[in-house]
């Protein structure tokens, strides 16, 4: 598959602040890529650099094989969709869609025909004569996307486009955006701080922190095989549990440390380890099953029970909390002491100091 976007050794400085650090990223044509990470990680800076709204300090940036270093935004043939919609309030939906074509010298009739075709794709046909103030948030976002589509760009760049919408509309719109991407066979780069958006929409997820790509891969690759504690904790909801542990003298088990004043509890190690080594055990909430306390390797008191109807979340322990996710309903009550069943193959091990996966 042809590479559509290629970044090689990209760096960005704001004075002494190093915002992007040696970014290397290849995006194949037709791929939906999500850039995800906490605030300040560099994801929006990277997207704005692709659009030409920010200049890079070092490295190469290519779109469709053409070097883009120093190329102004209008000549990059990319379309950007912003969080704030960025619509012209004094123009109708149709005028918002045709504006960029008219500015490029496209005949009025041809521009209107193109707008009608795009509107049919995005469900705006009945709204063409309305002004932005007469539209809902979801409709405005569809206009913003339609305005990008009508340009038929080499790539679509989405900068947290759903952040202004309520939870229910976000779920609906992320399905719309993905379906639109598939219909157009587009190349899309999507910035979000919401890992659920990234996991559910993207073919390829790039996790960033402090201007560095921590890990990239398919959503399930990142979920099942995180390279470090940061990625493990960022991807997945509820978040992965992290428990300090010490390898037993024979290297065959792990002594879990749940907090000051609580007894050590042992669990079988997934592999032979260096005796006495301190590490962090990561266990996803859905990989822990409640069991009877009698004879269980692990036992903890239940401090809270949260029920959604379709799932139940148990919070266990005191100073070091453990969360269990159970499909359906559970008879367990707060205050009970329950046993825990964990398959060692579901555990993730991380270095206590560096957080690197072991």
Q: Are residues 187 and 265 in the same domain?
A: no
- Report the pLDDT averaged over residues 220-234: 98
Q: Are residues 201 and 317 in the same domain?
A: no
* Nearest Cα to Cα of residue 298 among 259, 256, 250, 331: 256
Over residues 4-22, the pLDDT tens digits come to 999 999 999 999 999 999 9
Reported as a pLDDT band with limits 50, 70 and 90, residue 297 is: confident
| CA gap 318, 325 in Å, rounded | 18
314 in Cβ contact with 326 (< 8 Å): yes
Say yes or no to pLDDT of 207 above 60.
yes
Pairing status of strand 204-209 against strand 32-36: parallel
- Rounded to two decimals, the pTM is 0.91
**Percent of the chain residues past pLDDT 70, beyond the cut:** 99
Say yes or no to pLDDT of 309 above 80.
yes
In the sheet that 298-307 helps form, which strands lie side by side, from edge to edge?
A: 288-291, 337-342, 298-307, 311-316, 322-327
Whole-Å CA distances, 166 to 12, 80, 135, 136, 171 = 33, 22, 15, 11, 9
Beta bridge partners of 20: 12
Over residues 262-294, the pLDDT tens digits come to 667 888 999 899 999 999 999 999 999 998 888
* Nearest Cα to Cα of residue 212 among 12, 351, 5, 349: 12
Residue 152 sits in a domain of what CATH number?
A: 3.40.50.300
Q: Are residues 225 and 273 in the same domain?
A: no
Reported as a pLDDT band with limits 50, 70 and 90, residue 68 is: very high
Q: Are residues 96 and 226 in the same domain?
A: yes
Domain membership of residue 358 (yes or no) is no
Would you call 197 exposed, middle or buried from its count of C-beta atoms within 10 A (0-12, 13-18, 19+)? buried
Residue 163 belongs to what domain range? 3-234
List, in sequence order, every beta strand (DSSP E) within 308-347.
Answer: 311-316, 322-327, 337-342
Domain membership of residue 357 (yes or no) is no
Q: Are residues 19 and 106 in the same domain?
A: yes
Query: Mean pLDDT for the chain?
Result: 93
């Amino acid at each position: 598959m042809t590479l559509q976007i290629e970044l090689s050794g990209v760096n960005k400085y704001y004075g002494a602040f190093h915002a992007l650090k040696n970014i290397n990223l290849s995006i194949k044509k037709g791929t939906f890529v999500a850039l995800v990470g906490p605030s300040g990680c560099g994801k929006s800076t990277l997207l704005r650099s692709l659009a030409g709204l920010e200049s890079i300090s070092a490295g190469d940036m290519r779109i469709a094989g053409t070097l883009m270093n120093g190329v102004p935004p209008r000549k990059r043939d990319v379309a950007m969709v912003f969080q704030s919609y960025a619509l012209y309030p004094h123009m109708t939906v149709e005028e918002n869609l045709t504006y960029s074509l008219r500015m490029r010298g496209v005949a009025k009739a041809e521009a209107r025909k193109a707008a009608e075709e795009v509107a049919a794709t995005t469900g705006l046909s009945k709204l063409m004569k309305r002004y932005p103030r007469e539209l809902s948030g979801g409709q405005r976002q569809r206009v913003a996307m339609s305005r990008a589509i009508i340009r038929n760009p080499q790539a679509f760049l989405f900068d947290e486009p759903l952040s202004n919408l309520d939870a229910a509309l976000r779920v609906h719109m992320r399905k719309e955006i993905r379906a639109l991407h598939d219909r157009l066979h587009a190349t899309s780069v999507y910035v979000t701080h919401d890992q659920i958006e990234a996991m559910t929409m993207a073919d390829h997820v790039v996790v960033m922190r402090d201007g560095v790509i921590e890990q990239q891969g398919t959503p399930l690759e990142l979920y099942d095989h995180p390279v470090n504690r940061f990625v493990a904790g960022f991807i997945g909801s509820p978040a992965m549990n992290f428990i300090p542990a010490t390898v037993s003298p024979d290297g065959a088990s792990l002594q879990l440390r749940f907090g000051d004043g609580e007894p050590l509890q042992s669990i079988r190690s997934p592999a032979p380890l260096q005796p006495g080594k301190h590490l962090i055990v990561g266990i996803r909430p859905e990989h822990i099953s409640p069991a009877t306390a009698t004879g269980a390797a692990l036992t903890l008191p239940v401090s809270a029970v949260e029920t959604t109807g379709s799932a139940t979340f148990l919070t266990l322990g005191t100073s070091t909390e453990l969360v269990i996710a159970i499909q359906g309903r559970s008879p367990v009550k707060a205050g009970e002491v329950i046993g825990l069943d964990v398959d060692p193959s579901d555990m993730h091990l991380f270095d206590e100091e560096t957080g690197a996966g072991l």
